[in-house]
Structure 1
Amino acid sequence: MADSMAQLSRSRDLDKLLLRPGHLVGPTFEPGPDLRDDLQQYARVLVVGAGGLGCELLKDLALSGFRNLEVIDMDRIEVSNLNRQFLFRLEDVGKPKAEVAAKRVMERVSGVNIVPHFCRIEDKELEFYNDFNIIVLGLDSIEARSYINAVACGFLEYDSDDKPREETIKPMVDGGTEGFKGHARIIVPGVTPCFECTIWLFPPQVKFPLCTLAETPRTAAHCIEYAHLIKWDEAVKRAELFGIPGVTYSLTQGVVKNIIPAIASTNAIISAACALETLKIATGCSKTLSNYLTYNGVEGLHTKVTEFLKDKDCLVCGPGILIELDTSVTLQKFIDLLEEHPKLLLSRASVSHHGKNLYMQAPPVLEEMTRSNLNLRLFDLMDKIPKDIIHVTGTTSKGDHKTSCLRKLRVVFKGIDGVTDMDMAGGA
């Protein structure tokens, strides 16, 4: 009896959105109980990250009618997490965040099923991500966002008029917080700007000149970074030598790991916005955000929505980089060309075609299994298709910093029927 009453209470506000027509609904919205049932039965949502924002997202999505949720996170719970990641307790320290978060939400919200994945996002096959209707990001890393963005955009296909095929679009909802500031945005690959289209929104990480660190330190941060690069146990001694106060453990963590203090209320606000946008995308019960919401609670409360434009030449969400090849090119030669290509500069590349691994750099067992393909013609490995999409994953360098990335390529083979002069005109 209590469970049924709780279910009715939770669905009351949801029914107001899903069972009634309105003036701000999406173009495909059809109100009715079937829509609510479909949301609970068929909608599959992946939450990436089970930290401060991820905990809130799992709770909000479960209470918003979603029943099939999965969460992926590679971290274990630390004592410092407990002040804002409300699903965790002191006895959980050392346990995987994803597993504990899933367990706690399922204990509190009846009927929801949450599958946890305790691993790196790169450890999952691409097809794992393709099984979800919507991907919701609760990450604190630019690199992780870029990777998931590339994965989702990698499923996108364009028709002959370079328009995205609707059935291949994998929507994402991205949230982020920094102290009393935060953002929520929707990314509809091929329609709205993807993460890479607006990478300029994120400021570069602060770097300190080595000469300043070694010879003329002026702040506590300089002393901490010097100790991080040379010897950890000399951080306080370095500060004392130059008469600089303020070298504490929390500041040390903040400088070395680029940690910004997290505020529980900010996570709750941004999560609510992200959960609502996820519900809009899944049901069409309202028009979605267009397309970037910023929140600032430093002085009072300020929110603003900005509509950013898609970069038509984006390497990630565009139709794909066009590469023109001879049919004689082997897979090994193709991988070598990726390192030299001016738009790619990919090292240690792994290659897949329609979900089939042509060559994998890791793990060792897959490398050994696919090694024999290196001496075969790429044209044969692609089933002699004159032009088609393949995906490559590798490492790219920006200065001294290396990051993993995934790129979509349109491979065109010369001299094969079905390849037009127009195809060749854009060859790299």
Structure 2
Amino acid sequence: MTKRPMNQTSRQRGSIHTLLSRPSPFGNESGSLPVGEFPPNVDSSGTYNREGLTQKILVVGAGGLGCEILKDLGMLQIVREVTVIDLDTIDVTNLNRQFLFRQKDVGSSKAVTAASFINARCPWMKVTPYHGKIQDKDSEFYKQFSVVISGLDNIEARRWLNGMMSSLVQFDEDGDPVPETIIPLIDGGTEGFSGQSRVILPRITSCFECSLDTFAPSKAVPLCTIAETPRIPEHCIAWAFILQWPKVFEKKLDADSPDDMKWVFETAAKRANQFGIEGVTYMLTLGVVKNIIPAVASTNAIVSAACVNEALKVLTFCSQSLNTYMMYIGSESINSYTFIMEQKENCPVCTTHTHKLTLSGSTTLNELLQQLIEGEYRLQAPSITSSSKTLYMRKPVALEAATRANLDKPLKDLITSGEELVVTDQVFPDTSLGLVVTFV
């Protein structure tokens, strides 16, 4: 039986152009998280305007998720301008799942290499790469994008990006967010055969910080355990890069250097063999040293497709946006789960509440800072000021030295009960935490 040749009309049927040129009974405005009204994109002749999307898209991360996200954006064939930013260089272990890279690319910038590959394959989409930290870019850089798709592999970087996007939101005279300043953040994450995609409308929906309690805090291991009685592979790896590296090398360990990581792996493997511990692998070494979340290629493909799907929705309003969380658990079934992640009432990022603590007046300033680090806020390196003076500031060096003596002083000698303090930290870019401490 001879197949009938596919004509131009049948080739177009079912394409993204068809979707965007026809009215939809399920437009974004009819969903539970409405972002905008869907107008079919047609020109004067009544056909779809094929010039494509004019909005700029930022992809954060060019690793397992990032490669898939860039590919998916290219395959839409209507995206015209994308920027990708990533700090890492390509390691040989990336080649089994980060398919935009080849053996010859090992040691090269992930962002630059990924952009070059996509630009060659998808000439209709221009990808501009940046090799460096996301923290090196200021708010003006992030303001230029209409949507940000995050494919980051560690929690702290995701917290920083979430804080940056929230800080960009401006408010009107009534205290309501100005819609034009809200840049949707599509956050994707994977861990083994599990993954999630979520839609974050800064200051409107829950943000990444709201769900921080769902991630187990990293547990510090006492140095005595690492040095004397290792019990698990992670202890051997920590011993290698925390205790042994400074003894052998004068330079700082470069977690992105294959040579440095090979040394750590081999040293940890010898340590594990001495204590009869199994499980030290090169991949685990990377995970422990870089504190990254492991990834599986199939999970990356599913989650990145979900992220790009949501990005398309918020850019075109063609369908109902996810409200607000999709979870995929591949080890259980092919089905995914969706639910609304509620906004945390006292979230330090997306709410404007002043936070309250009740402490003894004899509590030292250092103990307060440690509580902010180890407690629910999980800050990293907080600095703190009162309405009248600087209590402790970590930078610059001269100011840190001048305020260091306050660390051992009781709070009652530094502030009055009920006084509002301002806490800054690197997880809160361009913003701060309002804190009222009341003495018991």
Interval containing the TM-score (normalised by the shorter chain): 0.7 to 0.9
Cα gap change, 1:251 to 1:115, in 2 (>3 Å): closer
Counterpart in the other structure of 1:408: 431
Cα gap change, 1:13 to 1:341, in 2 (>3 Å): farther
Deviating beyond 4 angstroms after TM superposition, the runs of 4 or more aligned structure 1 residues are 8-12, 34-39, 319-322
Give ranges in structure 2 of 5+ residues lacking alignment: 1-6, 30-36, 245-263, 356-381, 398-421, 435-440
Do 2:61 and 2:150's aligned partners in 1 also have CA atoms closer than 8 Å?
yes
Cα gap change, 1:410 to 1:222, in 2 (>3 Å): closer
Name the CA distance, whole Å, in 2 between partners of 1:45 and 1:10. 25
Among residues 206, 221, 226, which one is paired with 1:193 in the alignment?
Answer: 206
Q: CA deviation at 1:257?
A: 3.0
Among residues 12, 15, 19, which one is paired with 1:13 in the alignment?
Answer: 15
Do 2:154 and 2:291's aligned partners in 1 also have CA atoms closer than 8 Å?
no
Counterpart in the other structure of 1:111: 124
Aligned-partner SS, 1:177: strand
Counterpart in the other structure of 1:386: none
Mean alpha-carbon deviation: is it higher for 121-130 or for 241-250? 241-250
> Does residue 280 of structure 1 match 2:313?
yes
> Does residue 296 of structure 1 match 2:308?
no
Q: CA deviation at 1:404?
A: 4.7
Counterpart in the other structure of 1:340: 385
Counterpart in the other structure of 2:438: none
Q: CA deviation at 1:62?
A: 2.0
Among residues 168, 173, 176, which one is paired with 2:181 in the alignment?
Answer: 168
The TM-score with structure 2 as length reference comes to 0.70
Aligned-partner SS, 1:32: coil
> Does residue 33 of structure 1 match 2:42?
yes
Name the CA distance, whole Å, in 2 between partners of 1:174 and 1:277. 10
> Does residue 242 of structure 1 match 2:275?
yes
Cα gap change, 1:296 to 1:103, in 2 (>3 Å): same
Aligned residues: 345
Aligned-partner SS, 1:82: helix
Q: Deviations over 1:102-152 (max 9, x none)?
A: 111122123111111112112222101101111110101112111111111
> Does residue 53 of structure 1 match 2:51?
no
Do 1:315 and 1:407's aligned partners in 2 also have CA atoms closer than 8 Å?
no
Cα gap change, 1:259 to 1:73, in 2 (>3 Å): closer
Do 2:57 and 2:83's aligned partners in 1 also have CA atoms closer than 8 Å?
yes
Q: CA deviation at 1:340?
A: 2.5
Counterpart in the other structure of 2:32: none
Do 2:82 and 2:126's aligned partners in 1 also have CA atoms closer than 8 Å?
yes
> Does residue 24 of structure 1 match 2:57?
no
Do 1:292 and 1:308's aligned partners in 2 also have CA atoms closer than 8 Å?
yes
Do 2:41 and 2:49's aligned partners in 1 also have CA atoms closer than 8 Å?
no
Q: CA deviation at 1:32?
A: 2.6
Q: CA deviation at 1:38?
A: 8.5
Counterpart in the other structure of 1:43: 55
Q: Equivalent residues in 2 for 1:45-84 (5 A)?
A: 45-64=57-76, 65-84=78-97
One-letter amino acid of the structure 2 residue matched with residue 146 of structure 1: R
If asked which structure has higher relative contact order (CA below 8 Å, sep 6+), I would say 2
Aligned-partner SS, 2:428: strand
Name the CA distance, whole Å, in 1 between partners of 2:140 and 2:48. 27
Do 1:182 and 1:270's aligned partners in 2 also have CA atoms closer than 8 Å?
yes
Cα gap change, 1:77 to 1:287, in 2 (>3 Å): same
One-letter amino acid of the structure 1 residue matched with residue 168 of structure 2: F
Do 2:190 and 2:294's aligned partners in 1 also have CA atoms closer than 8 Å?
no
Cα gap change, 1:236 to 1:62, in 2 (>3 Å): closer
Do 2:195 and 2:328's aligned partners in 1 also have CA atoms closer than 8 Å?
yes
Name the CA distance, whole Å, in 2 between partners of 1:38 and 1:169. 27
Name the CA distance, whole Å, in 1 between partners of 2:386 and 2:75. 48
Name the CA distance, whole Å, in 2 between partners of 1:66 and 1:113. 9
Name the CA distance, whole Å, in 2 between partners of 1:77 and 1:106. 18
Q: CA deviation at 1:200?
A: 1.4
Name the CA distance, whole Å, in 1 between partners of 2:432 and 2:288. 38
Name the CA distance, whole Å, in 2 between partners of 1:39 and 1:137. 26
Cα gap change, 1:405 to 1:20, in 2 (>3 Å): same
Cα gap change, 1:309 to 1:90, in 2 (>3 Å): same
Q: CA deviation at 1:300?
A: 2.7
Q: CA deviation at 1:29?
A: 0.7
Name the CA distance, whole Å, in 2 between partners of 1:43 and 1:127. 16
Do 2:323 and 2:340's aligned partners in 1 also have CA atoms closer than 8 Å?
yes
Q: Equivalent residues in 2 for 1:386-401 (5 A)?
A: 396=425
Q: CA deviation at 1:312?
A: 4.2
Counterpart in the other structure of 1:420: none
Counterpart in the other structure of 2:225: 212
Cα gap change, 1:132 to 1:249, in 2 (>3 Å): closer
Q: Deviations over 1:73-119 (max 9, x none)?
A: 11111111111010111111111111111111122123111111112
Name the CA distance, whole Å, in 2 between partners of 1:193 and 1:171. 12
Name the CA distance, whole Å, in 2 between partners of 1:207 and 1:256. 13
